[in-house]
Structure 1
Amino acid sequence: MSLLSGLLDHMPPSITSAATEKPRRPPPRPSLALVTQAEHRPQFVTSPHASAATATPEWRLARDAYLNHIMACRSCYAPTARYCGAGAELRAEYDRAPMEAHQ
């Protein structure tokens, strides 16, 4: 006799009628439908191949300075836009830096 069988001896028997019934499906959930197509104007006009590789050196320097700071600073938390004084200034410089050179 094992320890498990000794524990199971004190449990009440399972109800057989509940085991034979099919489980009931929950009612279907209402689905959401998009009524009108939302129009979003692009915030920045960029070329089809805009990336960090084609960005201006000023943008890359601002990006690198900002990212290096927020990765090391314990006061800054970018997902909620919480920055220390230096982090806020670096974020502002990053936002002001042009990604593409005007031609």
Structure 2
Amino acid sequence: MSLLSPLLDHMPPAVTGTDSPKVDSRPRPRLVLAARVERPAQFMTGPHANAATATREWRQARDQYLNHIMVCRSCYAPNGRHCTAGADLRASYDATPMEAHQ
């Protein structure tokens, strides 16, 4: 005997063999797209700039800047705090174009 049995004494017993609720046998309406809607593209599908497609000069400037701030105890990039060398490397990195002008 469990501790919950006195709580369940007032409930009627489950009856087996009762019919389930009636299910509507009519076919349900289906939604279909009547005509295809042409929408303009939300994003540019052309080539985009990233480190793999960047110029060699930009990658070199980025690598020099990152290599410096990773070892320099005076530089802290999230706050924009740089030593003299770090500030020069950051300025060079910012000034170097990522894409070659065509």
How much has 1:89 moved relative to structure 2? 0.1
- The sequence identity of aligned pairs, in percent, is 75
- How far, CA to CA, are the matches of 2:69 and 2:85 in structure 1? 10
Query: Is 1:89 the counterpart of 2:77 in the alignment?
Result: no
Opposite residue 68 of structure 1, the aligned amino acid is N
| Per-residue Cα deviation, 1:7-51 (whole angstroms, up to 9, x for no partner) | xxxxxxxxxxxxxxxxxxxxxxxxxxxxxxxxxxxxxxxx65210
- How far, CA to CA, are the matches of 1:49 and 1:89 in structure 2? 28
Return the index of the structure with the highest Cα Rg: 2
TM-score (norm 1): 0.54
**1:58 corresponds to:** 57
Listed as ranges, the gaps of 5+ residues in structure 2 are: 1-45
Listed as ranges, the gaps of 5+ residues in structure 1 are: 1-46
Aligned residues: 57
Specify the SS of the correspondent of 1:49: coil
- How large is the RMSD of aligned CA atoms in angstroms? 1.1
| Per-residue Cα deviation, 1:58-81 (whole angstroms, up to 9, x for no partner) | 000000000000000000000000
Opposite residue 89 of structure 1, the aligned amino acid is D
User: Which structure has greater helix proportion?
Assistant: 1
- How far, CA to CA, are the matches of 2:95 and 2:54 in structure 1? 13
TM-score (norm 2): 0.54
